[in-house]
A and B are shown apart, each in its own frame.
Chain A
Amino acid sequence: MFPGTDGFTWTFGHVLFVALFLAVALTILATVGSAVWRTLGDFRTHRAIDLCWRSDFAEMPEGHRRCRHELASRVSSRACDNAFDCRHCSQYATFAALPPKAATDSIGINYREDCFYDRGHTWVKPEPDGTLTIGLDEFAEHLIADPDSVEMPDIGDEMEMHGTAWRIKKNGKQIRVRAPIEGTVTATGGPKEGWYLKLHPRLDPRDPATLRHLLRGVEVRGWLSREMERLQLQLSPPNTAPSLADGGALVPGLMDAIPEADWATVLDDTFLEA
């Protein structure tokens, strides 16, 4: 019996028993409660998005986690172990000093030299007024072409790196475009101007470290070349040997042109979903 019920008396056995049981129950509750509390805290401080990204990154196949310096041929082979967070990479300076190898052959897709690229297929262009413009790169645009619907963020919304920039619906598939950098949305573009958004960055855009994690120049070429390979392999017809065509350009409207392909997998890999 517990205290308060008829005929109950405290004995040493009771004290020990109740004490042990309470200790165990409290420990279990405290552990789970602590996990819940920390989870809520993570969402309040936006650490949640970074945690989710790092977890998703760990689930990606190794072939998709190549270090940018390998993409630029500064090193022959290196897998990223820091979730593409070049801002906080201890090795970045060492590898950045090495000379890249420039390639000249056509990769079948265009990119802009003056833009910084995120591996979620967005480009970032620093504007003179200190804002950043973010748009979908040609690879993603040629896949999607005309989206069924686009859900842009509101002006003034806060955006976290690797959080959701905007959402696209196409042929029943949900696409989440990852934000390449953190900041506040100052303007968004609509269907006529092309889908983009302008961001007031949280960190100073003149500081080189702010955009360090984004690919540029030769790295973009190396990365896009691999992305084209991946796309061709994933779009190969089933039950045939995988084939890679040399040369050729990516035509726009691929999702409409080959509706029967496994777009779920292609889009997951393109937009870095686990």
Chain B
Amino acid sequence: MASSVLTDSRWIARGALRTAAPRFLLWLAPWAAVLAVGIYAAGLCLYHGLNQTHMDNRFAFGLWIFLDLGIIALGAGAFFTGFLVYILKRVELKPVLNTAVVVGLICYSGAMAILMIDVGQPLRAWFTFWYPNAQSMLTEVTFCISCYLVVLIFEYVPLLLRNRQLRRVPSFLVFEHQLHKLVPVLAAVGALLSFFHQGSLGGLYGVLRGRPFAFREGFLIWPSTFFLFILSAIASGPSFLMLVTAAVEKVTGRRLVSPQLYSRLGFISGVLLAVYVAAKCLDTLLWLNVTSRSVGFAPWQFYSHRPFGTPVLFVEIVILGLLPAFLLTYRRFAMRRGLLLGAAAMACAGVLLNRFVLTIQTLALPTLGFDRFLLYSPSWQEVASFAGVIGYGVIIYSLSYRYLPLFGQAKGNTYVPGN
């Protein structure tokens, strides 16, 4: 390999094979462009106001809230994998732990960035911390997500400090060593926080007494959506990790983890997905027949408006729920990587559909007897802002992969059997 004038080899670990610097920049360029457009769109929204979006008084939540909830659910792999490795001692999942942390960091920081644009007065964000409403699910979400982002940053710092050049600073190296020893504590705290905020995100919808489509009974103060969101998040987290790892292997052209890891992650995801589907079916029946009827809403009223008919419910629970659960857990398919990844994608899509339905369909449906069913489609600023987050995520991950030991030891980042 010819060494070019432009080289960052001093930053890359010894023995790690990485593509040449110019080619890496070429890879980053389109994502950087997407990020740039996203920043511009976000800037427009901050400068001119939220009239840049197509949200309105009937659709107070839109694309951003739906996608925020989506990426937080998918980023649940971060806390759940940490929980499995450090608390339940499932060490066979260790190779993807670092990826899970980076993905989690990207998802949560991206969600926070979008939330800061989504609110009308971002500079007042500290009000929630100073005047918290203990009754509100959104307060709980704000606190937990902020704390968890801090935890994720401190889980990422040891990884960062293992960079070849950064570790030459003795204080960084020793601090990394000491912090790394305490990572199990952070993982436990992270698991606790995530449990609560994944649930509270579900609780956001479940407590809406005024929206019978979303409202659920539950256990004590927690509506059933609290538990359903936790289940769906921990079910889709490992699936999303599978997809990310497969994508990284594809892009780098390198085998980074053992094939068994995919089937292991898939099995965990599939089992949890099956539990979720069972719980969701029970919850749906209860909600349609008991909860909603008691306030005068008949089930047909929720599903009589195109395009949100009962097929959507069927797709969410059966096609993107039960089917991937089966595919991921059926032993015969354990080594069929393509099938597993397809099922993982379906599981993730199912969770995204669930978040979409609860955000958009809830607001589209009429509540008053004389309301109309309404539609909403996002503006380019909304789409571009979120696309910017994806660009940001790919850049962060790419940089982390190039300069940090994400997969095992830095020397020779190819998979070593028996590791």
A binds B: yes
**Chain A residues at the B interface, C-beta cutoff of 8 Å:** 1-2, 5, 11, 13-14, 16-17, 21, 24-25, 27-28, 31-32, 34-36, 38-39, 42-43, 48-49, 51-52, 55, 58-59, 61-62, 238-239, 264, 268, 273-274
Could you list 18 further interchain pairs (A-B, Cβ under 8 angstroms) beyond the known A34-B182, A58-B409? A1-B131, A1-B132, A2-B130, A5-B131, A11-B134, A17-B140, A21-B147, A25-B147, A28-B147, A28-B189, A31-B186, A43-B174, A48-B171, A48-B174, A52-B174, A55-B173, A59-B411, A274-B167
* B14 adjacent to chain A (CB < 8 Å): yes
Q: Looking across the interface, which residue of chain B has its beta carbon closest to that of A55?
A: B173
Question: Which A residues are in CB contact (< 8 Å) with B170?
Answer: 43, 48-49, 52
Sampled A-B contacts (27; CB under 8 Å): A2-B130, A2-B131, A5-B131, A17-B132, A24-B189, A24-B192, A28-B154, A28-B189, A31-B189, A32-B179, A34-B178, A34-B182, A35-B175, A35-B179, A38-B178, A39-B174, A48-B170, A52-B174, A58-B409, A59-B13, A61-B14, A61-B411, A238-B2, A264-B10, A273-B168, A274-B14, A274-B167
Q: Looking across the interface, which residue of chain A has its beta carbon closest to that of B411?
A: A61
Interface size class of B (residues with CB under 8 A): 35 or more
With contacts A5-B131, A43-B174, A49-B170 known, is A239 near B182, CB below 8 A? no
Question: Which B residues are in CB contact (< 8 Å) with A14?
Answer: 134
With contacts A21-B143, A43-B174, A264-B10 known, is A32 near B154, CB below 8 A? yes
Q: Is the interface of B mostly helix, strand, loop or mixed?
A: helix
Q: Looking across the interface, which residue of chain A has its beta carbon closest to that of B132?
A: A17
* B410 adjacent to chain A (CB < 8 Å): yes
Q: Looking across the interface, which residue of chain A has its beta carbon closest to that of B3?
A: A238
* B25 adjacent to chain A (CB < 8 Å): no
Q: Looking across the interface, which residue of chain A has its beta carbon closest to that of B158?
A: A35
The residues in B between 150 and 186 inclusive whose CB is less than 8 angstroms from any CB of A are: 150-151, 154, 164, 167-168, 170-171, 173-175, 177-179, 181-182, 185-186
Distance in angstroms from A82 CB to nearest chain B CB is 17
Question: Which B residues are in CB contact (< 8 Å) with A25?
Answer: 147
The residues in B between 387 and 419 inclusive whose CB is less than 8 angstroms from any CB of A are: 409-411
8 residue pairs, one from A and one from B, having the closest CB atoms: A13-B134, A35-B179, A35-B178, A17-B134, A38-B178, A39-B175, A48-B174, A39-B174
With contacts A24-B192, A25-B147, A35-B178 known, is A239 near B2, CB below 8 A? yes
* B15 adjacent to chain A (CB < 8 Å): yes
Question: Which B residues are in CB contact (< 8 Å) with A58?
Answer: 409
* Cβ 8 A contact of A28, one of B3, B14, B150, B173: B150
Distance in angstroms from B259 CB to nearest chain A CB is 25
Distance in angstroms from B5 CB to nearest chain A CB is 14
With contacts A28-B186, A48-B174 known, is A274 near B411, CB below 8 A? no
B193 touches A24 (CB 8 A): yes
Distance in angstroms from A14 CB to nearest chain B CB is 5
Q: Is the interface of A mostly helix, strand, loop or mixed?
A: helix
* B4 adjacent to chain A (CB < 8 Å): no
B410 touches A36 (CB 8 A): no
Question: Which A residues are in CB contact (< 8 Å) with B121?
Answer: none
Alpha-carbon gap, A52 to B167, bound state (A):
9
B14 touches A51 (CB 8 A): no
Distance in angstroms from A261 CB to nearest chain B CB is 12
Alpha-carbon gap, A104 to B321, bound state (A):
72
Distance in angstroms from B149 CB to nearest chain A CB is 11
Question: Which A residues are in CB contact (< 8 Å) with B132?
Answer: 1-2, 17
Distance in angstroms from A177 CB to nearest chain B CB is 16
Distance in angstroms from A236 CB to nearest chain B CB is 14
* Cβ 8 A contact of A27, one of B3, B13, B135, B185: B185
Distance in angstroms from A232 CB to nearest chain B CB is 19
Q: Looking across the interface, which residue of chain B has its beta carbon closest to that of A262?
A: B3
Distance in angstroms from B321 CB to nearest chain A CB is 32
Distance in angstroms from A163 CB to nearest chain B CB is 9
Distance in angstroms from A47 CB to nearest chain B CB is 8
With contacts A1-B131, A27-B189, A52-B173 known, is A39 near B178, CB below 8 A? yes
Alpha-carbon gap, A274 to B177, bound state (A):
16
Distance in angstroms from B199 CB to nearest chain A CB is 13
